[in-house]
Amino acid sequence: MTTTLDALKQHTIVVADTGNFMQLAAFSPRDATTNPSLILKAVQQPDYAPLLAEAVATNPGKPLDELVDQVLVRFGLEILKVVPGRVSTEVDARLSFDTAATVARARRIIDLYELAGVPRERVLVKIAATWEGIQAARELERDGIHCNLTLLFAFCQAVACGAAGVKLISPFVGRIYDWYKKSASAKWDEAANAGANDPGVKSVTQIYNYYKHFGIGTEVMGASFRNTGQILALAGCDLLTISPELLSELQASTAPVERRLDPAAARSAAVEEVRYDEASFRFALNEDAMATEKLAEGIRAFAADAIKLDRLIEAQGAK
């Protein structure tokens, strides 16, 4: 009997969203994504703590920020032993509004992978989809360093990423859903906002249709799912990055999967082209209360976890 997970893979590239590389083989994803929160969670587990200690011990005297990148890349290298495709490794969220610093950090991450024998084609550098982050990605992509623009909540972010030639974007389905559900409070109707009507699903669908209609090569990878219904409503999306918990649910199910997103349908749809410069991008983002709040919240949360990771590394004797 075909599992729902295997059926989904007929329409969409499945990506595992975890730093727990020991779980990956069970789901056979093509790629894997990580973020500061996932790595922080992993290094506090007994099975993974030695990786952090090893990164510190083998790089004595290195600055703290470099040790952090060593830890992130160490996890990435282990992940790449399991998945046949790419791993996403994130730039420190505290650099989200500094284009030059983001570029420099991304280059160092790629250098560390290449020193370990991993070609840059197997790595996506994750960068927050701020205006500064998008401009950093534009520069990096020109040099063959591929990027995954994350914390993406607004249509204007997606349009700007496409114009910048970004390799891949990660619209956050679940966090969009969270905001609208919280905003509606007691008026929220779960059934009426499920499936294709889920606000996070609608956001990704709009972006997918826009990209396919205008032949934009940027890959769309739905992320941050709260339930399998959101995942199945986006069957046909270029990629979907899914937590181990939800991958397990899909693997345990035999429900059929119907393709929901289709490039041919997108090409024939009525879609209006839009363009953004810095001023119009910032205004459009400002006008989207959900995106403004969730972007800021996401950067704060990832920055807080980056600080916690710093402290764990310092506790290993790093200076």
User: Any residues with CB less than 8 A from the CB of 151 and at least 6 apart, and which?
Assistant: 128, 129, 170, 172, 294, 295, 298, 299, 302
Pair 169, 219: CB distance under 8 Å: yes
Q: At 46, give phi and psi (nearest 5°).
A: -55, -35
Give the separation between CA 11 and CA 4, rounded to whole angstroms: 11
Burial 185-214 (b: 16+ CB within 10 A, else e): eeeeeeeebeeeebbbbbbbbebbbbbbbe
Pair 97, 303: CB distance under 8 Å: no
Q: At 256, give phi and psi (nearest 5°).
A: -70, 160
Of the residues 126, 167, 212, 294, which is catalytic? 126
Pairing of strands 31-33, 147-152: unpaired
* Catalytic site includes residue 319: no
CA dist 234 → 150, 241, 275, 296 (Å): 18, 11, 26, 26
Instruction: Tell which residue, 38, 114, 53, has the closest CA to residue 106.
Output: 114
Residues identified as active-site: 126
